[in-house]
A and B are shown apart, each in its own frame.
Chain A
């Protein structure tokens, strides 16, 4: 069944009549964000399921809720009075049977004075045409319509065939361990084997009960038989309880292993983040301590100006100079004192000599002055003319110093005696001179210490910055928050403990199950021993056949499922390899790991089979897409999905452009027909050219859709329409 055509009229941004035809191969609708790709996807979905995706609610809603929003705003704005209808019609063609189904959905509103009067329901019609017989009929019966829809796209597999890019995450949710198993159940024939298994179990149970009744009937000791039957019942009840326990423990173990596994992929980054966080904390502590030390040193630096006498820095020469001057002063002083003493001695000598002739102040100065005035010595009464020797000698008497010469100011070195002060200063200086000589070293040492602290602070700041950058990079790459990282590490430890605990519990429960089974066998033997006569052969045979049937049913189901998983794993890897061929960084193989509860989880492993940690989001999404393709293709014998078309909106937007061509190649190989909405080919002309020309891609129709008004320039949608251009 392929989609031949879609006709869209007045549906959302598709104002007026619009049409697209499709062929086998990969059909691509190219358009940038806001160009109408998702609305086109909605158009397909609406026809089939009467629902459209409401982005604000992030869910599909029925026409009943969305109502007139389905109809183009442009068309509604252009009508003042009248009726407006949105319609989408899809033509499906069954190439094998050469018949056509045209599914059409319509929704109308009445407009009166520009007021929209909404109706609740859409109208759905199905037309069936048999081309070989040239007849066509409108399907009236609602049940038949449903059957046709179900046949075109079975509801339980629609999620794997029609999906939006952002839905890929949830189609196979690695956090929900049974989603892959569910998908396998839905998309494979394994459910047939499950049904046979249930029939076998039920038949074996009934056969065993019938046999037990016969054993009891033939018992020679009914009382004993009754007693053994009761014991058997008790063991049966206990066994059933242990089996329930076993199932529950296995579920818990699987959950814990799953969580542990899931965390394991994040653990490496989480550990790194946690270690970096600890390093940051330690760096911050060190920084704090360094800042305190620096602050202390700076305060101490000022104190040392006085405490360590740094203010005297550079005064070493001053002291030397002072010492020299002081020495010179002392020497000068001694010299002067010596001179003075000599002078005084001389004067004393002179005076002594003078005193030989006349005592001092004899005659009295007034008489001496009179003698000088009269030019006559009154002592000897001789004439003494002015300026004569005699007169001069008399004058010498008056000119004789009054104060002893050693007391004359001109002969004293200073007026004040600073000698003691100078001495004290010298001694102080001498005491400080050793300290002064150490000041430079002391300051240099202190500055070096401060420099070292500053250097350590800078270094620590740099380290913190590097750690911060590493944390940010890790946080960004691993999509983990700092808080998350710590909780991941803690949660991993908890889950590991759970795994250990549940494994131990499972062992205990398994032992109990074995014990109860053994007890039941013993009772069966004892019951058999009580038989008188013979159990009919046909009944013995019936019991044997039914128990063997149960055994075969269980083992066949497991074997088929296991083969299916192997096939699926192989196919998934083929698709994954094909899709990732354009990306050199992609590594690993997909392994479908069986959990204790029987579910399967995909994981990326290295060449040794160990889980590959740190796979990026693109890789994980590609794993999911590969698994979906494998499950879908596994349903067919030749690995090609012939009957159903893949319709997907922006599947490639969730991974990089590197994967786009690989994805298209794989899709065109796996699906007979696919319709892909993509913006990657809008932005990247090279990619578009490759899409159109690559011989490995079976290309169908390629359309470019363009809105009449770009999304950024829209104030409303009242003039919005969408043009469709066929590119090939």
Chain B
């Protein structure tokens, strides 16, 4: 199971559209390697990356925290 496969399953979640994070059109074009410009999606990608690459939960949390604190996209 590649990062892309896992990512596709996450972005299939209806919450992304329901809560207005992304539109349906854009959703289908999303790829793991591309920058989405959406914080939630980037957080998901970070978690997937850390999982697949076996970085561990602590590293993942730290990276996500740092990312959300920086306000960058």
User: Which of A's residues lie within 8 Å of B, judged by CB?
Assistant: 189, 192-193, 195-196, 198-200, 202-203, 206-207, 538, 541-542, 545-546, 548-549, 551-553, 555-556, 559-560
Contacts and interface: CB of A to CB of B under 8 A. Distances in A.
A503 to B, nearest CB: 30
Nearest to A196: B47
B9 A202 contact: no
Given A552-B13, A552-B16, A552-B40, A193 B57 contact: no
Given A541-B39, A545-B40, A195 B9 contact: no
A560 to B, nearest CB: 5
Contacts of A200: 47
Given A542-B69, A560-B9, A199 B1 contact: no
Interface in B48-70: 48, 50-52, 57, 60-61, 64-65, 68-69
Contact of A548 (B1, B40, B51): B40
Give the interface SS of chain B, mostly helix, strand, loop or mixed.
helix
Contacts of A546: 43, 64, 68
A207 B67 CA distance: 12
B52 A203 contact: no
A552 B44 contact: yes
A556 B10 contact: yes
A548 B17 CA distance: 12
A338 to B, nearest CB: 138
Contacts of B64: 199, 203, 546
Contacts of B65: 203, 206-207
Contacts of A541: 39, 68
Most A CB within 10 A of own CB, among B21, B51, B65, B71: B51
Give the interface SS of chain A, mostly helix, strand, loop or mixed.
helix
Contacts, number: 81
Contacts of A193: 6, 9
B19 interface: yes
Contacts of A202: 57, 61
15 contacts: A192-B6, A193-B9, A199-B47, A199-B57, A207-B68, A545-B43, A548-B21, A548-B40, A549-B47, A551-B15, A552-B10, A552-B15, A555-B13, A556-B9, A559-B13
A196 B51 contact: yes
Contacts of B19: 548
Contacts of B16: 552
Most B CB within 10 A of own CB, among A193, A196, A542: A196
Given A552-B13, A555-B13, A199 B61 contact: yes
B32 to A, nearest CB: 13
B8 to A, nearest CB: 10
